[in-house]
Amino acid sequence: MKLLAMVICGALLSACAIGPDYKRPEITEPVQFKEAQGWRQATPSDSLARGAWWELYGDRQLNDLVTRLNNANQTVAQAEARFRQAQAQVRSARGAFFPTVDLSAGKTRASQGTGSSNASLSSSSSGIRDTLNTQLGVSWEADVWGKLRRGLEANEATAEASSADLAAMRLSQQSELVQDYLQLRVMDEQTRLLQATVDAYQRSLTMTENQYRAGVSGKDAIAQAQTQLKSTQASLIDLIWQRAQLENAIAVLIGEAPANFNLAVSKDIPALPQIPLSVPSQLLERRPDIASAERSVIAANANIGVAKAAYYPDLTLSLAGGYSSSTYADWISLPNRFWSVGPKVAMTLFDGGQRSAEVDRSIASYDETVAKYRQTVLDGFREVENYMVQLKVLEDEAVVSNEALDAARESLRLTENQYKAGLIAYLDVVTVQATALSNERTVLTLLQTRLVASVQLIAALGGGWDGQTPISDKD
């Protein structure tokens, strides 16, 4: 009855937990994004709520590559392994709530001698004795002050932070792959443009050489045509290694050796998607890095309770019993049994300020994680604002650049006709051709920048992560 009363008393005391309960740190949260005014929302507005955000670009090959990345990317595999380690820590912390059962069996051989200090009567005797022991013990630490619960709380928050880190790493790798793929497709179009330009310049050079032989054009025109042709050929060759670098980067992202991976040239460039925006408050739930930072705050808050619980005594209830004998014959028999039961209270009376220092360290660690969380939120808001204004400005710039390109094409057509009619020198044609090519490449470069910025904005909004990753016993 005394033991039962002690257990009940310990259970009642364990209803309390030392240390502060978690409260989300206050942050300055805007009502809406500054650059949201005039932003064109996608329909439906929840198309990025979860799942494969890269499918917004409508490219089947890109979808296949991201699937391969999800299955074979080694950086993601490292983050997944860290998450499983954190899950194991949670299971270990839960195991501390249950009794520990130990079984031991052994044999000891001991000798003890006796003697007298009397110099006149010197006698001694010694004997050797074998002892056989088997014992079953049960011990349970009552979580009176909530130390174990705070420890479990910290481990669960750490596991959830690790889960969010895994999502953030996966999103980062997916974003990098999509950006590389889109740049590569724009580069394929630039290659086609330069190849067509080289062919046109080759025809111009041939025509200029014919005119020179006919005495219509001078040798300087041939030099100018050759210079323009070779310069464009050099730019075309330069694209080869740039494309190879992007292709190799994609290979590594999907877990392949670059030598075993080839991405065929395609004529299709994925279209810019419409990207739905969330309000700033939803960003706190959608971004895995923000979620991870907040989980770290929860863990640090719980660790304060663990540190403060060290000031209070630990209560352990233990029960042990077994058999002890000097011979095998009657080892396991009623007369040789033994047992013990009772509580044990232990606490540190003096430690030179170690516990106080640990509490101060835990509080400082909590303050650090709060500052990191707030900074992560601010960085998230900044990234979204930056990519929103970038996409809006680039859209306006694209309109002007396309108008400039149309004008350059028309100017080139008129200038070539005038040159063929002998009304102008070839230098005028070269100048207009260079301007037209520059405008063509500017439009493609601008498209590439817009595609990359769209990926960055989607990643800044949290991608397809829904923030729902429960930690269960069976994980």
pLDDT at position 258: 95
∠ Cα 407 408 409 (to 5°): 90
The pLDDT of residue 122 is above 60:
no
pLDDT at 423 over 80: yes
Instruction: Please report the pLDDT score of residue 285 as a whole number.
Output: 75
Candidate from 42-46, 138-142, 231-235, 280-284 with smallest mean pLDDT: 42-46
**CA-based radius of gyration for the chain:** 38
Whether pLDDT at 123 is above 70: no
Does the pLDDT of residue 400 top 90, yes or no?
Answer: yes
What are the pLDDT digits (tens) for 37-84? 655 544 333 334 456 899 999 999 999 999 999 999 999 999 999 999
Longest dimension (CA), the chain: 143
Most confident of 201-210, 246-255, 374-383: 246-255
pLDDT-derived band at 189, boundaries 50, 70, 90: very high
Percent of the chain past pLDDT 90, that is, above it, reads: 51
pLDDT value at residue 37: 60
SS3 sequence of the chain: CHHHHHHHHHHHHCCCCCCCCCCCCCCCCCCCCHHHCCCCCCCCCCCCCCCCHHHHHCCHHHHHHHHHHHHHCHHHHHHHHHHHHHHHHHHHHHHCCCCEEEEEEEEEEEEEEEECCCCCCCCEEEEEEEEEEEEEEEEEEECCCCHHHHHHHHHHHHHHHHHHHHHHHHHHHHHHHHHHHHHHHHHHHHHHHHHHHHHHHHHHHHHHHHHHHCCCCCHHHHHHHHHHHHHHHHHHHHHHHHHHHHHHHHHHHCCCCHHHCCCCCCCCCCCCCCCCCCCHHHHHHHCHHHHHHHHHHHHHHHHHHHHHHCCCCEEEEEEEEEEEECCCCCCCCHHHEEEEEEEEEECCCCCCCHHHHHHHHHHHHHHHHHHHHHHHHHHHHHHHHHHHHHHHHHHHHHHHHHHHHHHHHHHHHHHHHHHHCCCCCHHHHHHHHHHHHHHHHHHHHHHHHHHHHHHHHHHHCCCCCCCCCCCCCCC
pLDDT value at position 1?
Answer: 52
Q: What is the pLDDT of residues 198-213, one digit of tens each?
A: 998 898 888 888 888 8
- Give the domains, in start order, of the chain with CATH numbers: 21-107+143-313+357-461 (1.20.1600.10)
Q: What is the mean pLDDT of residues 380-388?
A: 91
Q: What's the confidence (pLDDT) of residue 390? A: 92
pLDDT at residue number 248: 97
Identify the pLDDT of residue 124: 45
* pLDDT for position 80: 95
Q: Average pLDDT of 241-269?
A: 95
pTM assigned to the model:
0.83
- For residue 49, what pLDDT is reported? 40
- Angstrom CA distances, 75 to 79, 240, 289, stand at 7, 28, 16
Give the pLDDT of residue 184: 97
- With a cut of 90, say whether residue 277 has pLDDT above it: no
pLDDT at residue 120 tops 50 = no
| pLDDT value for 420 | 81
pLDDT at 38: 52
Q: Which of 32-41, 109-118, 226-235 has the highest mean pLDDT?
A: 226-235
pLDDT at 5: 52
Least confident span in 140-154, 326-340, 407-421, 461-475: 461-475
pLDDT at 347: 86
pLDDT of residue 61: 96
Mean pLDDT of the chain: 85
Distance CA 272, CA 53 (A): 13
Q: How large is the average pLDDT for residues 255-277? A: 90
Report pLDDT digits (tens) over 238-250.
999 999 999 999 9
Which band of pLDDT confidence, cut at 50, 70 and 90, is reported for residue 119? Answer: very low
In this predicted structure, the answer to whether residue 459 has a pLDDT above a threshold of 80 is: yes
Please check the confidence at residue 436 and state whether its pLDDT lies above 80.
yes
Q: From CA 182, how far away is CA 189, in angstroms rounded? A: 11
Question: pLDDT digits over 322-356, tens only?
Answer: 888 887 777 888 888 888 888 888 888 888 899 99
Confidence of residue 434 (pLDDT cuts 50, 70, 90): confident
Mean pLDDT of all residues in 126-147: 84
